[in-house]
């Protein structure tokens, strides 16, 4: 597979793209002067135990994070000094999620100990030998400080510029004239699938609806990945009666398995919604500044 990591600087924001055999396979936006913190190593101090939440709150110096008991917080008490790593960025109005860094000594006071590798490292983990093409010489210098194989290409984003611009819109095109609409809420993200005129054929309408929904699943899964939708995701497929929608489960589970974050298909609700759980690590695209 011919993989390329592409970086373009636009007004202080770096657009990071992964292409595989020319197809857009990953996208995010990154501000080097204001990173999301994922992977950062910090010194902190326990400020309170939240038994109802199953963890403790930690003062990080420039804010507060939450350390679950399952990630090392169980034996800690108020006032304890700890070293922690940020495992989930602040998002949805909530602070960062933390994990105890057991082999690291905390500093004298809360604060940053070391920056995390940033989102480009996640693309490199998938394709260690992929070249990195950046369209700005200052960006080239910044990336070369942490990565090998960085080259200057003033048109690094040109092959995918239109497609990444389309990710800013809630509506996206699907095969056979169908379309999807992303509807984020504080509790979950809903995706509505509209068949348009795709199943207007006469005859075997249930069969046509099943074939259409199967055909759109790979692109639906790709849009979930590209937009970094996470947490609880509900998908309302087009047209099919709720009782027969579980027939889509094998296709949907197989498409989700190709996502590096390994989202899980939990099943279908009584109303026919496909219930997907995808790990929250970095903010979804719609929460990032443009």
Written as tens digits, the pLDDT of the chain (290 aa) is 699 999 999 999 999 999 999 999 999 999 999 999 999 999 999 999 999 999 999 999 999 999 999 999 999 999 999 999 999 999 888 899 999 999 999 999 999 999 999 999 999 999 999 999 999 999 999 999 999 999 999 999 999 999 999 999 999 999 999 999 999 999 999 999 998 766 555 567 888 899 999 999 999 999 999 999 999 999 999 989 999 999 999 999 999 999 999 999 999 999 999 999 999 999 999 999 88
Radius of gyration of the chain (CA): 21
Given this model, what pLDDT does residue 93 score?
Answer: 83
What pLDDT shows up at residue 194?
95
Tell me the two tokens of residue 258.
């190709």
Q: For strand 150-152 and strand 132-134, is the pairing parallel, antiparallel, or unpaired?
A: parallel
Would you say 242 and 271 are in contact if contact means Cβ atoms under 8 Å apart? yes
Predicted pLDDT of residue 202: 57
Q: Is the torsion defined by CA of 203, 207, 209, 211 positive or negative? A: negative
Least Cα distance to 98 among 173, 46, 35, 164 occurs for: 46
- CA dihedral (34, 36, 7, 143) positive or negative: positive
Write down the pTM of the prediction.
0.93
> Could you tell me which of 289, 285, 234, 281 has the C-alpha nearest to residue 117?
281
Alpha-carbon gap, residue 244 to 247, rounded angstroms? 6
- Burial status of residue 185 (CB atoms within 10 A of its CB: 0-12, 13-18, 19 or more): exposed
189 phi, psi to nearest 5 deg? -115, 125
CA dist., res. 241 & res. 268, Å (int): 12
Which residues, in sequence order, are bridge partners of residue 275? 234, 267
Q: What is the C-alpha to C-alpha distance for residues 150 and 161, in angstroms, rounded to an integer? A: 20
């Amino acid at each position: 597979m011919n993989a390329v990591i592409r970086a373009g600087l636009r007004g202080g924001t770096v657009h990071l793209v992964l292409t595989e055999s020319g197809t857009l396979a990953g996208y995010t936006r990154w501000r080097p002067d204001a990173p999301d913190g994922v992977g950062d190593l910090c010194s902190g101090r326990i400020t309170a135990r939240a038994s109802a939440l199953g963890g403790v709150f930690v003062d990080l110096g420039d804010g507060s994070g939450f350390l679950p008991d399952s990630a090392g917080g169980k034996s800690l008490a108020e006032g304890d000094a700890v070293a922690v790593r940020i495992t989930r960025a602040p998002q949805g109005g909530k602070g960062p999620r933390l994990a105890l860094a057991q082999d690291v000594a905390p500093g004298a006071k809360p604060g940053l100990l070391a920056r995390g590798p940033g989102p480009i490292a996640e693309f490199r983990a998938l394709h260690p030998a992929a070249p990195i093409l950046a369209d700005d010489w200052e960006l080239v210098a910044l990336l070369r400080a942490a990565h090998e194989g960085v080259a200057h290409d003033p048109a690094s984003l040109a092959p995918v510029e239109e497609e990444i611009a389309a990710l800013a819109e809630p509506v996206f095109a699907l095969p056979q004239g169908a379309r999807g609409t992303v509807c984020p809420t504080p509790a979950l993200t809903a995706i509505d699938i509209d068949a348009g005129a795709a199943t207007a054929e006469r005859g075997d309408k249930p069969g046509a609806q099943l074939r259409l929904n199967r055909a759109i699943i790979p692109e639906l899964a790709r849009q979930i990945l590209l937009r970094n939708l996470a947490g609880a995701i509900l998908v309302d497929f087009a047209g099919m009666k709720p009782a027969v929608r579980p027939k889509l489960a094998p296709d949907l589970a197989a498409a989700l398995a190709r996502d590096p974050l390994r989202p899980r298909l939990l099943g279908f609700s009584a109303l026919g919604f496909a219930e997907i759980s995808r790990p929250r690590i970095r903010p979804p695209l719609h929460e990032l500044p443009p």
